[in-house]
Amino acid sequence: MAFQSAIHQLKVPEVVQLLRVPESTIKRWIRLGEIPCALKNGEYVFRRDTLLAWARSKHLYIEENREAVRSGEADLIRALRLGGVHTGLSSESREAFFESVGRRLHQELGLPEDLARHLDERERLSTTGIGRGVAVPHPRFPGSLQLSESLVATCYPEEPVDFGAPDGEAVFVAFVLLSADAAHHLRFLSQVAHLIRDDNLAPLLKLPPSKEQLLDHFQSVLAKKTG
């Protein structure tokens, strides 16, 4: 399954024109990791649709908002189906777990070989453990892996791993969130945070469930939320 695709990329001068902010501000946002971008051939590039979604989430005024491409609602269930359920991953440390996740997803889904590095770089900023033994690891910059479709891989270490989560619980399951753009990223984070508050989910997750069991339960909880 190929997730790479050709996309419309912008460079810093074009982003300055699009967002109408000084170049120094763009560079500061890059340095602080606040704006989605990727380093390619020694310079930062920005995926246009991801950048527009990010700007809207920050309530930045953009003249081209009227012409911005309307993306459909992020589909968490489809992303979970694409990502699959992966068990028996290394649990000696958080770093070992990420290495194991990276190898597995590279072998089974054809994802970039340096996925573990992306996950570890983000984790060093602050924990992605969100409580109840659940973590949502993801790259520092949504869209930086240049995926044509978002996916969420449900990953189980052999034993719980310390992520330094706020509630002190070691992580027994990680939803590895690999978004094609910032809009999907923000929506998926919100949806997963909502899902883990469901008291019926914990027993199911600890089985661990099959992919179909997981999808059926998530679909039911999301339907109640929007119903």
Q: Give the residue numbers marked as catalytic.
A: 138
What gap in Å lies between CA 128 and CA 164, rounded to an integer?
Answer: 9
Tell me the C-alpha to C-alpha distance, in Å, between residue 51 and each of 36, 81, 132.
Answer: 7, 26, 32
Per the rule left: phi > 0, alpha: psi between -120 and 50, beta: everything else, 33 is left
Tell me, what amino acid is at 226?
Answer: T
Which DSSP string corresponds to 168-224? -PPBSEEEEEE-SSHHHHHHHHHHHHHHTT-TTHHHHHTSPPPHHHHHHHHHHHHHH
Which of helix, strand or coil describes residue 68? coil
| Token pair in block for residue 71 | 């993306």
CA distance 67 to 10: 16
Residue 209 CA to its chain's centroid (Å) = 21
Structure tokens at 226: 């929007």
Cβ-proximal residues to 151 (8 Å cutoff; 6+ apart), any chain = 3, 79, 80, 82, 83, 109, 178
CA angle 49, 51, 54 (to 5 degrees): 110
